[in-house]
Amino acid sequence: MSVNRVVDWLEERIDLGAFRHLLQEKVVPVHHHTIWYYFGGMTLFLFVIQVVTGILLTFYYRPSAEEAYESVQFLMTEVQFGWLVRSIHSWSANLMVATMMIHLFSVYLTQAYRKPRELTWVTGMLLFAIVLTFGFSGYLLPWNVLSFFATKVGTNVAGQVPVVGHTLVRFLRGGDEVTGGTLSRFYGLHIAILPLLTTLILGLHLFLVQQQGMSVPPDVERASAQQPIRTMPFAPNFLLRDLFGWFAALGVLAALAAIYPWELGQKADPFASAPAGIRPEWYFVFMFQTLKYIPARVGPFDGEVLGVMGFGLGGLFLFLVPFLDKRAALGEPSPLFRWTGIGIILYIAVFTALGYLAPGPK
Amino acid sequence: MRIALRVALFGFLMAAPCLLLPVPSAEAMHACIDCHKGLKEERLSRPVKKIADDYHMIRGLKCQDCHGGDHTAFDNKEASHSRAKGFLGKPKRQDIPAFCGKCHSDPRYMRKFNPKIRTDQVKEYYTSVHGQKLREGDKHVAVCISCHDVHAIRAIKDQAAWTYPIQVAETCSRCHADAKYMKDYKIPTDQLKNYEKSIHYEVLTKKGDISAPTCPSCHGNHGATPPGVDSVANVCSNCHAAVAELFAKSVHEEAFSDLGQPACVTCHGNHEVLKPSDELLAGGKDTPCATCHEENSSELKKANEIRTLLQDLAKGIDRAEAILTRAEHAGMEVGPPRFELIEAKDALIKARAETHLVKVKRIKTLTTPAVVIAEKTVKKGQELMVQLQFRRKGLAASLLVIAAALIGLFFKIREVDRRGPSG
């Protein structure tokens, strides 16, 4: 009763049409690809967990080479449930990248990027790039041996970018080497710049999703040309299913955090030699592994430069796919793009597996 | 224009005499090599094959710098090997130290290559058993080339050098482990076999610590001689300084001296220096203590007391390590207690060193607080395990709540699906 009064009070002052539409009229198509609709919401849920646990971590974290490791150690050993907050933050970050990848490739393979959702795709790709940067910058913050050397190797790769490579490395590191200066700028990036960008782009992404509704895959559309596609109300039917998935994710997160707490390792020592088996976070492993396989020189070109340029072009292709895939825009099947997508997924899966099973040449 | 012509003419006139000088070609620089490599007799062609790896060549020396002769007399064996032109050929074995010493004992010459290099090797060599026997006419003993190779002489820092720390024991043993070769000298030939069982060998080869002792560390290199009974403690003290200082103040120092027993070696052995264990102090029949002290003597009881103190601390540290490792494997953060345990470990090292002074009271002052630290660490480890159980129980409880919520949601979804069928 009181809820109605609050709604009435608000409605007298602002237009709640959009919310009313969302709650009363928005529907979600039901077909054999409906399962993929849940991964966007799941990523959003994990992102909210990241924000909450991230804010809690800032209460204790001190971003300097002298204090970062000790502050995380203090958080994990002395602060009540500090270990849980940090573990959930780390595990949730990894799960978020995983659900985001599933979301991205399910959207790609169902060609949901086609007209009129080009901008939704572009904002989604931007969010993906931001999330990877979140992962890369956050990995360094505990200032342990693994994160230090992984950052050193990762920023070195940025140095292979033609023309601006050296400047880019200096910009990323805040100097020629990974130091406390790098840590403080990664911290600024991680807790200020990236959250601001995410808020803006995520807002736009969600706005576009609400404006345009869920995309129906072209093959489903073609198969049901004669009759309307079955739907379910967004609220409560879809929302409850979303909630079900979120609770399940929460259970998985709790179990991972309690059974496999994110370890802290040894404090970084910039003067020590790199330990064996340095490897970046799993979502960068396929690139890391590829660079290992590319010979030092390919004809007149530097192998690593070619590799980095290849990844750049691959990213650009994905970014621009709605504008390249003309057939999908017309609602026609486009096998070339479909198989290219499957190829990219297979490539990422195989090279990630190789990174763990066959570390290969150094 | 005329000035330019004048300059060009002047330049030509200055350069013309140079054209008449015989400038050795690149090939001519290796005239000895070029000729010797084609020789059928293996002993004459072998030096050419080996010389490629020689450090002297790397530093710019050529065959004639050691062997003399006229290296410009191509295809003329007589002229190139002319004694009148300083050709020395292959030196006799007893002349080798002097042959190498021509340069290596000349500080003025050697400082061109390395101002810090020593130039007393030959002098020192003649103080060694090898050198003395060579002077007496024994041609079996080691000379420079026995340890440094010939025509493939490498710098000591070169890992492939016979004198590189990891290789040198093998080099010495080529003669010293050969019972037939050593027959006339009446000395043991099992040194390498024993050394390979030692902690020194383990540190040198398995840990790759090239500062670990090997033959020359105790015997010297050019002046190789076995350390005498009275000097062995000094030899060991070069590395084990703290222990040596304690031993020098102990009752054993005088006692060993009176008995004519070599310090260090009496308890630890010489080539087969095993990793010392607290068991050495057990006082039983096979322990070093029992070689001098009688069974049930007060000294052996003291040794037992020291051993108990050390073993109690070691066991405490092991217990603490074990529980911390268990907690660590379960994902707990064990950095701070492990850091505190370092103090106890340091105390154990110091207490073990103190055994050389044989003062129970001093050892106790080190072990007593360290045992307390180890116990505290065990307690912290136990607390971590309790916390681990708390986490597991907390997880189980939260999973129950989540499972209940999921079941509730499942029924709610069924209910709303039934109530409002999809349109």
Neighboring chain B residues of A248 at a CB cutoff of 8 Å: 402, 406
Of A27, A83, A258, the CB nearest to B395: A258
d(CA A80, CA A77): 8
In a domain, A335, yes or no: no
d(CA A99, CA B243): 62
Is the pLDDT reported for residue A216 higher than 50? Answer: yes
The band of A187, judged by pLDDT with boundaries at 50, 70 and 90, is very high
Residue A347 at interface with chain B, using a CB cutoff of 8 Å: no
d(CA B19, CA B190): 65
Q: Quote the pLDDT of residue B19.
A: 44
| Domain that includes residue A156, residue range | 29-269
Neighboring chain B residues of A236 at a CB cutoff of 8 Å: 412, 416
Residue A55 phi, psi dihedral angles, 5° rounding: -65, -40
Residue A73 at interface with chain B, using a CB cutoff of 8 Å: yes
In a domain, A296, yes or no: no
Q: Quote the pLDDT of residue A1.
A: 58
In a domain, A234, yes or no: yes
Q: Quote the pLDDT of residue B285.
A: 66
B276 within 8 A of B243, measured Cβ to Cβ = no
In a domain, A294, yes or no: no
Of B332, B406, B417, the CB nearest to A244: B406
Residue B422 at interface with chain A, using a CB cutoff of 8 Å: yes
Of A84, A248, A261, the CB nearest to B406: A248
CB-based burial label for A299 (10 Å; 0-12, 13-18, 19+): exposed
Residue A263 at interface with chain B, using a CB cutoff of 8 Å: yes
Residue B7 at interface with chain A, using a CB cutoff of 8 Å: no
CB contact under 8 A, A237 and B416: yes
In a domain, A352, yes or no: no
A262 within 8 A of A270, measured Cβ to Cβ = no
State the CATH number of the domain containing residue A132. Answer: 1.20.810.10
Please state, in angstroms and as integers, the Cα–Cα distance from residue A139 to each residue in A94, A135, A160, following that order: 11, 6, 21
B374 within 8 A of B319, measured Cβ to Cβ = yes
CB contact under 8 A, A247 and B423: no
State CA B312 to chain mean position distance. 33
Neighboring chain B residues of A77 at a CB cutoff of 8 Å: 333, 335-336
Q: Quote the pLDDT of residue B227.
A: 81
Helix axes A38-58, A194-212, angle to 10 degrees: 160
Residue pLDDT tens, chain B, 423 long: 455 555 455 555 545 444 444 444 444 456 788 788 888 888 888 888 888 889 998 888 988 888 988 887 777 888 888 888 888 888 999 999 999 999 999 999 999 998 888 999 999 999 999 999 999 999 899 999 999 998 899 998 899 999 999 999 999 999 999 999 999 898 999 999 999 999 999 999 998 899 999 999 999 999 998 887 777 878 899 899 999 999 999 999 888 888 888 888 888 888 998 888 888 876 666 778 877 888 888 888 888 899 999 999 999 999 999 999 999 888 888 989 999 999 999 999 999 999 999 899 999 999 999 999 999 999 999 999 999 999 899 999 999 999 999 999 999 999 998 886 544
CB contact under 8 A, A237 and B420: yes
CB contact under 8 A, B395 and A233: no
d(CA A252, CA A87): 12
Neighboring chain A residues of B338 at a CB cutoff of 8 Å: none
Bridge-based pairing of strands A297-298 and A27-29 is unpaired
Between A312 and B233, residue with greater pLDDT: A312
Residue A301 at interface with chain B, using a CB cutoff of 8 Å: no
Average pLDDT of the residues in A128-154: 94
Interface test with A, best of B333, B415, B419 (most A CBs within 10 A): B333
The band of A85, judged by pLDDT with boundaries at 50, 70 and 90, is very high
In a domain, A88, yes or no: yes
Q: Quote the pLDDT of residue A158.
A: 86
| Number of domains composing chain A | 1
CB contact under 8 A, B391 and A258: yes
CB-based burial label for A47 (10 Å; 0-12, 13-18, 19+): buried
In a domain, A160, yes or no: yes
d(CA A216, CA A33): 9
Q: Quote the pLDDT of residue B11.
A: 54
The band of A4, judged by pLDDT with boundaries at 50, 70 and 90, is confident
d(CA B22, CA A254): 87
Bridge-based pairing of strands A231-233 and A301-302 is unpaired
Write down the ipTM of this complex. Answer: 0.81
Q: Quote the pLDDT of residue B8.
A: 57
- Give the gap in angstroms from C-alpha B59 to the nearest C-alpha of chain A: 32
In a domain, A97, yes or no: yes
Is the pLDDT reported for residue A45 higher than 90? Answer: yes
Neighbours of B80 (CB within 10 A): 19
State CA B73 to chain mean position distance. 47
Average pLDDT of the residues in A208-232: 86
Interface test with B, best of A26, A87, A240, A243 (most B CBs within 10 A): A240
